[in-house]
Amino acid sequence: MTSAAFCIGGDLKVRRLGFGAMHLPTDPGPDRENSLAVARRAVELGVTLIDTAYLYGGGANEELLVEALHPYPDGLLITTKVGLARSGPSGDWKLDGRPAVLREQVEQALRRLRMERIELLQLHRIDPDTPLADQVGTLRDLQAEGKIGRIGLSEVTVDQLDQARAIVDIASVQNRYNLLDREHEAVLAACEAAGIAFLPWRPVAWGDAGAQAEIAAVAAELDATPTQVALAWLLGHSPVILPIPGTARIAHLEENLAAERIEMTPVHRERLDRLAEVA
């Protein structure tokens, strides 16, 4: 069995299997009521890490979590992301890591989330039009002011991670990564070497039919679902991986969290490890 807990930044203990809130509908009506129920059920089932972002509905996703969970139970970490903004007459989203924008977005997130401090604040993307040092430096300043507890990055290269770490401690990295998509293996290795939490987004994704067939075969042998196999593989692949699968259905939520109990043999793991070569 893999360890069920990890300390982000060395001191913030969370359950390794978290929950990504991105897919929760926020518009008024039955779908929103279901979203509230899903978020509450996640906490009932012991989830202590919930991932959201300003991008998800321009703060609507954060407000949904507040309605569902505030006042927050002890030990619950809600992490959010900043660094994208609407611009132009069409209101399209674009990367915006200018210091004034990041500062304002953090202030807004504090108000929406009803927090005095965001324990883990992630930069959603590196804005190529703003010096990385200015973006990370702004978050460092906000940390010094007590508005941020720990700083994370998303979709970064090893070089960008190194540059950021020269400015401030980085507690987490959130890159796309799953059983069949291991483009960021080098970033994961850098995180593992430094004890940095690695939160794979899109932790479950399927490739070609051959890969799907092998995953299904392993799942059948383990009396599990393919999704559970994909999550269990992540948990065993590196001790710093904290998957954050998202869903808008309670049944899927319960299925995802049950992946923690799967005991995969070395032979199963070796078969799955090889899938990246054909995906």
* Set 54, 56, 72, 177: catalytic member: 56
Judge contact between 171 and 197, C-beta under 8 A.
yes
Q: What is the rounded (10 degree) CA torsion for 81, 194, 8, 265?
A: 110
Longest dimension (CA), the chain: 56
Cis peptide before 71, with omega less than 30 degrees from 0?
Answer: yes
Alpha helix positions (H), the chain = 30-44, 60-69, 99-113, 132-144, 158-165, 185-194, 209-221, 226-237, 250-257, 266-273
User: Of 71, 118, 128, nearest to 98 (Cα)?
Assistant: 128
Other Cβ atoms less than 10 A from the Cβ of 270: the count is 9
56 is catalytic: yes
Active site residues: 56
